[in-house]
A = this chain, B = another copy of it.
Amino acid sequence: MTVSVGIIGATGAVGQRLIQLLAPNPEFEVEAVTASEDSAGKSYREAAKWRIDTPIPDEVAEMEVAPTDPESVPDDVQLVFSSLPSSVGEAVEPAFCEAGYVVSSNSSNARRDDDVPLTIPEINPDHLDLIEVQRDERGWDGALVKNPNCSTITMVPPLAAIDEEASLERVEVATLQAVSGAGYSGVSSMEIIDNAIPHIGKEEAKMETESRKLLGTFDGAAVHWHDVDVAASCNRIPTIDGHLENVWADTVEDVSPSAAADAMDAYPSLDLPSSPDQLIEVFEEPDRPQPRLDRTLGDGMTVSAGGIQETPSGLQFNCLAHNTLRGAAGASVLNGELLLENGYL
């Protein structure tokens, strides 16, 4: 028995990854794909300029693309994955929730809203029950669940491991982000070949706030954000996939690099279909992880870390995740699996 799902915003970079990931997923079956008016009515093959190095799954290739509104999605669809631009998601996602659909969304709108769960299943699965509060307040039959931004997802698992060990006090993070994070036409080649861009619009604020919500505690009524200070500096570099990050973490208690490595290595994964066997892979080689070599670990769902060392004021380490798998499409699918596991579907 599989759950029927839909994908809204199915033709973009994250939408294509969702289709790639959902094809072999044992729990979900894609029944509807939607996109903007331009694409509606075309076959998915025609509408999407497929740019992944595995072929379009047969069952989706000839599916007709529907317009992105609740009426166009069959009623037996229970779960909708959303990878809409945030300005579109802001308007459309609530409409789906109101119409009774559960929405697992990668879009950046509403992530910081008080009654919207922002979850990484291995890190803060209990936050999912914020749905009860949300339904009370909004009167929805459906629900809206968010995964965080790709660069936040990359650093939060190792930070959570350190936080449990020694309590985080202050974090600085510099990112080296791949171009796929901006979508297929987000970064032009003339901007980035032989170059790097030290600015990604709104990304720093996302990292600084979403990380605190994810590391916060849920008391049944509200999420109390972690009070760690986070300062992020975000850079785009000429890589296709995989966000690499340099992190400095000051902690309340002392923690050695080897204790931090052990805490990361031992941080438990979950038993969901898309959870990797090893959540955090810790490298001893000082020059790892590297995007091209390590982004596909655990089918792109493992976060890797390395270069853990002491600094005058705490710890320093590097981490990496595949930004469109663990950091976007895979994150949404995983949230979908948690929703199913926890009885919300």
List chain A positions with a Cβ less than 8 A from chain B.
Answer: 13, 51-54, 170, 172, 174, 176, 179-180, 184-199, 229-231, 233, 235, 237-240, 244, 246, 248, 286-296, 306-307, 311-313, 316, 318
Contacts and interface: CB of A to CB of B under 8 A. Distances in A.
Given A179-B190, A198-B318, 15 more contacts: A51-B191, A54-B296, A174-B174, A174-B233, A176-B176, A176-B237, A189-B189, A189-B192, A194-B291, A195-B239, A197-B290, A198-B288, A231-B248, A233-B248, A237-B237
A239 B193 contact: yes
Given A235-B246, A318-B233, A292 B189 contact: no
A233 B199 contact: no
Identical copies in the complex? 4
A193 B240 contact: yes
Contacts of A170: 312-313
Nearest to A184: B190
Nearest to A250: B313
A83 B201 CA distance: 31
B194 A191 contact: no
Given A196-B239, A293-B195, A172 B248 contact: yes
8 contacts: A51-B191, A180-B190, A189-B193, A195-B290, A195-B292, A196-B239, A198-B318, A238-B239
A170 B231 CA distance: 14
**Chain B CB within 10 Å, residue with most, of A51, A288, A307, A311:** A311
Contact of A51 (B172, B186, B190, B311): B190
